[in-house]
Copies of this chain bind each other. A is one copy, B any other.
């Protein structure tokens, strides 16, 4: 999608007062904010890449999901290709040894052309950044290279990953210096990747077989608190409140009392904040599998009752996530309204921001015409329209209004970097534990 075709969603909220104030604070304190980030990145190394789902309620802007194995690079504005290339060079430079050859390990879905197009774009960016790259697949039944046609005459070739001693390789003698995971390891840590002498990034400990969303949001809450102290901001304006429950079994209706008490406590905490800011919307929560992804095992509820009265089909849907993993722990997250809409039909739009290393490189809007302002747009079977940002989110323009597009994108970039920093701290914690 070219720049000129890419309109920016409209913020449809009568409650823009506090946001304008919030945005103004961000713009006015840019130098302080950037200084703070520089300090943070000196302390904690950024993940290789990430994408952050953001919800903008007008009065509040917060991340709701941080993906360390981001898909969707094909949805970014091609005008920022050079920015991505430069950021990839920087990200690889941070690896502790020289890197010339890279194997990118994608997810195992060979039929999802949207996903494979993302893989092709990512591989092309890495190649343009001056590295040799091949795609190494973990699919069990793959015994020789397979080429899968994409749209517009392109194709991707997946090579089976093989192991020799403590190194993996593909093809004849293509041993990588770096293994880049674009596979979130929902099915568990693959044996073939254990104890390698080659560097793997992100580390295996950050796959969904180990990672829990509440670890991320605990870190995010701390990051947001520290950040907010720079200019006396209420951290709630950038943080989704959350609670978590273990030992859940949706099918056997186990763990209901934990769900009930935590949903009620969370709704009441949010209601209190809404009163403080004179927000008249009705609070809701989003219940998500602690280790889920792809928008599976996610539901919203306005009360504990709604959650406890799920019918069999709904309970079945909540009880397993990607790759058939059983859901036993859930995150209960404050629902953040999306008050950005796009086009004449006022379609709900949710920004997704991409980073490579510590650099924001752009993003897009996820637009879904069948969803309301309090629904999860990353839902099963979702058909979203990607609307590439026509700005790369890396700097504000103090000469423009706080709510101008360039400044709104800058704020999305700041929020995304806060979530990325939280993920960076998770990686450090993970490497201590693993």
Q: List the interface of chain A (C-beta within 8 A of B).
A: 30-31, 33-35, 37-39, 42, 79-80, 82-83, 85-87, 89-90, 93, 98-100, 127-132, 359, 392, 394-396
Asked whether A30 and B86 contact (CB < 8 A) given A35-B100, A100-B35, the answer is no
Residues of B within 8 A of A82 (CB): 80, 83, 392, 394-395
Nearest-CB residue, chain B, relative to A130? B34
User: How long is the Cα–Cα vector from A83 to B87 in the complex, in angstroms?
Assistant: 9
User: How long is the Cα–Cα vector from A34 to B92 in the complex, in angstroms?
Assistant: 12
Nearest-CB residue, chain B, relative to A33? B130
Nearest-CB residue, chain B, relative to A395? B128
Say how many copies of this protein the assembly contains: 2
Asked whether A129 and B42 contact (CB < 8 A) given A83-B82, A90-B90, the answer is no
Residues of B within 8 A of A87 (CB): 86
Contact A86 B128 (CB under 8 A): no
Partner of A98, one of B31, B42, B89, B98: B42
Interface centre among A93, A127, A128, A392 (most CB of B within 10 A): A128
Contact B38 A130 (CB under 8 A): yes
Nearest Cβ distance between residue A135 and chain B, in whole angstroms? 16
Contact A39 B98 (CB under 8 A): yes
Contact B394 A31 (CB under 8 A): no
Nearest Cβ distance between residue A420 and chain B, in whole angstroms? 15
Partner of A85, one of B39, B98, B394: B394
Residues of B within 8 A of A85 (CB): 394-395
Contact A130 B395 (CB under 8 A): yes
Residues of B within 8 A of A39 (CB): 98
User: How long is the Cα–Cα vector from A132 to B35 in the complex, in angstroms?
Assistant: 10
Partner of A131, one of B34, B86, B99, B100: B34
Contact B38 A93 (CB under 8 A): yes
Contact A98 B130 (CB under 8 A): no
A sample of 8 cross-chain residue pairs with beta-carbon separation below 8 angstroms, ordered by A number, consists of: A34-B129, A38-B100, A38-B130, A39-B98, A82-B83, A85-B394, A86-B394, A128-B395
Residues of B within 8 A of A86 (CB): 83, 86-87, 359, 394
Interface centre among A93, A359, A395 (most CB of B within 10 A): A395
